[in-house]
Structure 1
């Protein structure tokens, strides 16, 4: 049987909600993030039966992975190589903050280039680091078994491009939503190019609420209570 790979992005954090660049700062899941991870893990467990779960060692990835681990009875293994892309001096900042201090570098970054002079990893460096980790973990996984890798948005975008034989700077796919995943299947031939086939991308329980990024919809009773106490126009 061919190798099956799921690349799962961690759930929401306060920095995600505020559009701050996290990089390798260790930010925990927020309340909505725990809900996203729980709901997403349940959907994953209903569709797949992973034999291994390997996560970045940053707590937002570890805690996301933990929901799936408890659902399927498979322990979480940690691999620091799966950390998010390092953004150096930009970590913790919003796009507005960065643009104000580094206008030229910000424009180049938004156009697909790499920020220079701020201590950030390049896309090629991230793809090499994450790609090495994913291929190594695949090689350690039972042939035909499903491996779940829990990592981060920018890191996963780079490794999906790498596994599909694209340049690390390729921008042919949108960023992955929190607690969503990409599904790939090994091509099945040692000389296949690329070695992986993309079965699904940005897969997740988007029907869980009217706005996934905002969390669960209010209960009808709570909505009615809110309406009753709302000031009239």
Structure 2
């Protein structure tokens, strides 16, 4: 099984300097151009059998470009949404830092942010998605996942079996993609955070 994990294109929140998370901003025109180029590249090099996508606008719109290019089925998967950042969603970063400062030493992984979810709950969500894919999709299939930076980092952590709480982060640029493979019970990382489709 191959997993093609893709981050959405540039969103309006990127230009506003606000916490995004569950704030539901659409793509910018530039983000749509990024998504169009990503879709053409993935369709040519890594055409999926099925696409699973977050239901937040920026990811869903990105996934629709890929669906249009490939013609394969697009399925909404709410568990692929970004970290539920509760009260921070949509707030300017400087306002959030003043109004909702982190506790000394940081927030414990089991304590949710106000109105949102904890790091442990977030990790459980992505573990659920990976298990669902494992049991519901063909072992020789290629699945595209269109999601968000934080969720993608958690997905790769879970794929590799890293501890629930750790300092390992896997960044993803706008429309960047990762290619992971499970073959005969061996897990392989073929590509991390590629943006080759935007090279020109």
Partner of 1:216: none
In structure 2, stretches of 5+ residues that fail to align are none
Is residue 2:199 matched to residue 1:203? no
Partner of 1:21: 19
Closer, same or farther in 2 for the Cα pair 1:107/1:175, shift >3 Å?
A: farther
1 CA distance for matches of 2:197 and 2:98?
Answer: 35
Q: Deviations over 1:127-183 (max 9, x none)?
A: 111221232124322221210011111111112111111123433334211111121
1 CA distance for matches of 2:156 and 2:23?
Answer: 23
Between 1:118-127 and 1:81-90, the stretch displaced more is 118-127
Which structure has more RCO (C-alpha within 8 Å, separation ≥ 6)?
Answer: 2
The offset of 1:19, in angstroms, is 3.1
Please report the TM-score for the alignment, with normalisation by the length of structure 2. 0.89
In structure 1, stretches of 5+ residues that fail to align are 210-233
2 CA distance for matches of 1:106 and 1:82?
Answer: 30
2 CA distance for matches of 1:124 and 1:53?
Answer: 26
Aligned partners of 2:34 and 2:198 also within 8 Å = no
Is residue 2:139 matched to residue 1:148? no
Out of 146, 169, 175, which is 1:173 matched to? Answer: 169
Please report the TM-score for the alignment, with normalisation by the length of structure 1. 0.77
Aligned length: 200
- Greater than 4 Å deviation, 4+ residue runs: 112-117
Out of 26, 36, 39, which is 1:38 matched to? Answer: 36
Is residue 2:160 matched to residue 1:164? yes
Partner of 1:87: 85
Higher alpha-carbon Rg: 1
